């Protein structure tokens, strides 16, 4: 079966590393991003240089009209989607809950919870045997924060990832008999631009002494787990969580 993957937030960080690995595994690739055209097009050039057929699609995953347009482009330009990586995510500045604005909390929940649910909906409409699809795979990119809660940093973000974990469990059972597996990865501190969003770009290096393995993770190490969960090697695995936290 042809492999067609949609990677949300594929323009940078963990999503970009996943796109590069997917290119080596023979996927046709849709790299979604929200605003950083330059970075997304650099990833596009890199995956094409590896011989993969690929497109970039700018779309806000938390807006259903934009998600509909994203999947329509995939249908037209790459073919029927077989894999979705719900990777796009955001986090607010480090703060206590009593200091958080409604706008910030809503932005976090819309991006990290509504976005993955909307993308899963439109992937399932194409993948599920119920709608004549050939099956497929979904991997949600959660966080160890879902287990730890991130007190005095970003409890709203941790709660959004907790919701994503519950979504993973429920969706995996809902779709298990329809040829679709649903799993999640939970990264710990990974070296990407993500930490600039919380106001501390050097965060991972600073926190390395507190990580049992003594170092932050690389986006490529998370990508390996995502691609494994999507592969036939994980054929009896659904509703499961793979932690990549260096022991945290
Ligand atoms: P990153 O380097 O900041 O990249 C985030 C990507 O998501 C970017 O491509 C961004 O688009 C895209 N994005 C953000 N909001 C979007 C939206 N509404 N619609 C579409 N795309 C959107 O972050 P990362 O570290 O690779 O994080 C990827 C995932 O891993 C996130 O879900 C994050 O919560 C999770 N995670 C990260 C860490 C870590 O330590 N880095 C740890 C645990 C979990 P633009 O490029 O256009 O801005």
Domain count across the chain: 1
Q: Using a 6 Å cutoff on CB, does residue 116 contact ligand 1?
A: no
**Which positions are annotated as active-site residues?**
157
CA–CA separation, 190 and 222 (whole Å) = 9
CA–CA separation, 102 and 104 (whole Å) = 5
Gyration radius from the chain CA atoms: 17
Residue whose CA is closest, atom 29 of ligand 1? 87
Over residues 39-54, mean pLDDT: 98
Specify the ligand 1 atom closest to the Cα of 62. 18
Q: Which of 150, 146, 148, 151 is nearest to 162 (CA)?
A: 146
Residue 51: other Cβ atoms inside 10 A: 10
* pLDDT reading at 167 higher than 80: yes
* pLDDT reading at 122 higher than 90: yes
Q: Which of 84, 63, 228, 225 is nearest to 167 (CA)?
A: 84
Q: Using a 6 Å cutoff on CB, does residue 36 contact ligand 1?
A: yes
Ligand 1 centroid to 15 CA: how many Å?
7
Per-residue model confidence (pLDDT) at position 1 = 74
CATH code at position 59: 3.40.50.720
Decide: pTM greater than 0.85.
Answer: yes
Over residues 174-184, mean pLDDT: 98
Per-residue model confidence (pLDDT) at position 111 = 98
CA distances from 71 to 60, 119, 175 (A): 12, 9, 19
Residue 77: give the domain boundaries: 4-244
Q: Using a 6 Å cutoff on CB, does residue 82 contact ligand 1?
A: no
Q: Using a 6 Å cutoff on CB, does residue 89 contact ligand 1?
A: yes
* Cβ atoms 207, 179 nearer than 8 A: no
CA–CA separation, 193 and 113 (whole Å) = 20
| pLDDT level of residue 195 (50, 70, 90 thresholds) | very high
Helix, strand, or coil (residue 201): coil
Over residues 218-234, mean pLDDT: 98
Q: Using a 6 Å cutoff on CB, does residue 143 contact ligand 1?
A: yes
**Strand blocks (E) in 116-155:** 136-141
β-strand 83-86 against 28-33: which pairing, if any? unpaired
CA–CA separation, 43 and 37 (whole Å) = 10
CA–CA separation, 83 and 140 (whole Å) = 11
Per-residue model confidence (pLDDT) at position 155 = 98
Sheet holding 136-141, edge to edge: 54-58, 28-33, 4-7, 83-86, 136-141, 180-187, 241-244
CA–CA separation, 6 and 55 (whole Å) = 10
Taking only the tens place, the pLDDT of each residue in 105-119 is 999 999 999 999 999
* pLDDT reading at 19 higher than 90: yes
Ligand 1 centroid to 13 CA: how many Å?
7
């Amino acid at each position: 079966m042809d492999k067609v993957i949609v990677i949300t937030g594929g323009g940078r960080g963990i999503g970009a590393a996943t796109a590069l690995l997917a290119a080596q595994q023979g996927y046709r690739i849709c790299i979604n991003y929200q605003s950083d055209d330059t970075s997304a097009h650099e990833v596009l050039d890199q995956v094409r240089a590896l011989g993969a057929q690929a497109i970039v699609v700018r779309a806000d995953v938390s807006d259903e009209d934009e998600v509909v347009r994203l999947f329509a482009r995939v249908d037209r330009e790459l073919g029927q989607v077989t894999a979705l990586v719900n990777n796009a995510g955001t986090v607010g500045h480090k703060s206590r809950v009593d200091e958080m604005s409604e706008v910030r909390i809503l932005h976090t929940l819309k991006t990290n919870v509504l976005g993955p649910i909307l993308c899963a909906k439109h992937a399932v409409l194409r993948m599920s045997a119920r709608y004549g699809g050939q099956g497929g795979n979904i991997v949600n990119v959660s966080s160890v924060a879902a287990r730890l809660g991130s007190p005095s940093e970003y409890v709203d973000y941790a709660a959004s990832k907790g919701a994503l974990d519950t979504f993973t469990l429920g969706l995996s059972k809902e779709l298990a008999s329809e040829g679709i597996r649903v799993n999640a990865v939970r990264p710990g501190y990974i070296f990407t631009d993500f930490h600039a969003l919380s106001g501390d770009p050097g965060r991972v290096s600073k926190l390395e002494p507190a990580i049992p393995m003594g170092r932050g993770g690389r986006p490529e190490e998370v990508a390996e787990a995502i691609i494994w969960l999507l592969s036939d090697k994980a054929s009896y695995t659904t509703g499961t969580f793979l932690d990549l936290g260096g022991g945290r």
